[in-house]
Structure 1
Amino acid sequence: MADKILISAEVRTEFGKGAARRARRADQIPAVIYGHGDDPRHVVLPGHETALAVRNPNALITLDIEGDEAMVVPKDIQRDPIKPFIVHMDLLAVRKGEKIVVDVPVEVIGEPAEGFEFILDQPTVPVEADALNLPESVSIDITGRDENALPESLILPEGAELALADLESPIVSIHEPQEQPLEDEDAETEAGEEDAEGEAGETEEAAGDDSE
């Protein structure tokens, strides 16, 4: 398990666009905590510190909300489309021993067989794991492969389970690169020459009209 991330939060008492803008000007992020059937809790978080913490999108964060601690994981992070800051966050409250499903990045290990190429079809996969020990990534080894790598080839950390419904679609597609047929290249060359001849003819015609 990663080192404990502790962030001090404040109860949010002002709402609306104006309040949100004031919070962002003060380098604070409006957020809401929900889960376990409890009423949502509205808080504001320190901007820079929180942005660093959620570089791992499944980070387990302990919030000190004015003396009351709550463990949460990010559920939805809304970012400004232009400026580099977080606009709002939804946080999921978690408890020790509880399992939750999170989307985890897939890391590809190795290279396929000689003469083959690969495409990562599913950059993330849903994984069920202990809320206090969420994996930062899962891996899949394609070393020497000449066929697609399916979900069964994923390497999961101990205690984690794949929560993917479709087990037939590849995580990584592996294929031989297709060369363009020579006749297509010749056709493109001929088409280009014909276009060039047509343009030249139009230019000569226009020159003749001008001379008259």
Structure 2
Amino acid sequence: MSDFTLTASVRNDLGKGASRRLRRANQQVPAIIYGGETAPQTIAVDKTAFYKAIEDESFFSSLINLEVEGKSQQVVVRDLQRHPYKPLVTHADFMRVDATHEITLNVPLHVVGEDTCAAIKDQDGELHVLANEVEISCLPKDLPEYLEIDITNVELGTTLHLSDLSVPAGVTLVALTHGEDHDNAIVNITKAKVRAEEDEDAPEAPETKDDSAEDEDKSE
């Protein structure tokens, strides 16, 4: 679990106009903290540190130390609102975490073993990643940055599901708590389709009557 620290200030000037002015100043990002027994608090996060942090995939599945005017609290990212066409974050939502209560988050799914998988290397298999992240529930101290699925020994034609994931102690896959029908597929390896060879082997189209007439016209 990575250690991220962001600094913020309390934001008393509220409303869409105030948020626009804050963004135009180009130094802070409008945000809110909510959750727990404390009332929601509107804040402004230091833009430079925030934009650097969101470049790291693990930021979205890590506990964040958020220092608001000298007081530190642990939070997780719940939502980012982005500009429709500019590379800008217009608002961020942070949720407070309690060490004694489980949290539910989506964490990245990393596929490992592709370079050594015989089904891919020797049998012309093609890997299909069907899920890039999975929803988990755990105590904050058990929060993983990501989960791995090892395909080293996976055979051609095999599909792996959520139940095939090995998860750390204290971590629950949320979908599986809803029953076997929610054991979703996450990766599979199928025989690669070689369209180029199929096109070369395909017979040539027979000459039509119109084509013959056209050739005769050219010869004249």
Question: Would you say same fold, with TM above 0.5?
Answer: yes
Q: 1:30 to 1:190 in 2, by over 3 A?
A: same
Inter-partner Cα distance in structure 1 for 2:199 and 2:99:
65
**Which structure has greater helix proportion?**
2
2:85 paired with 1:74: no
Runs of at least 4 residues of structure 1 off by over 6 A?
none
TM-score, normalising length from structure 1?
0.79
Q: Which amino acid aligns with 1:171?
A: I
RMSD between aligned residues: 3.1
1:158-183 CA-partner distances (Å, limit 9, x unpaired): 33221124543311022112445958
- From 89, 92, 101, the equivalent of 1:98 is 101
Q: How does 1:113-128 map to 2 (within 5 A)?
A: 113=119, 114-115=122-123, 116-128=125-137
TM-score, normalising length from structure 2?
0.77
Structure 1 residue runs of 5 or longer lacking an equivalent are: 206-212
Check conservation: 1:97, 1:132, Cα contact below 8 A. no
Alignment length (residue pairs): 200
Inter-partner Cα distance in structure 1 for 2:90 and 2:105:
21
2:53 paired with 1:44: no
2:131 paired with 1:131: no
Inter-partner Cα distance in structure 1 for 2:5 and 2:49:
10
2:165 paired with 1:154: yes
Inter-partner Cα distance in structure 2 for 1:33 and 1:18:
20
Report deviation, 1:40.
1.7
- From 56, 78, 86, the equivalent of 1:83 is 86
Larger radius of gyration: 1
1:39-70 CA-partner distances (Å, limit 9, x unpaired): 32111111111122333212312222223332
Q: 1:52 to 1:129 in 2, by over 3 A?
A: farther
Inter-partner Cα distance in structure 1 for 2:46 and 2:199:
62
Question: Is the partner of 1:164 in helix, strand or coil?
Answer: helix
Structure 2 residue runs of 5 or longer lacking an equivalent are: none
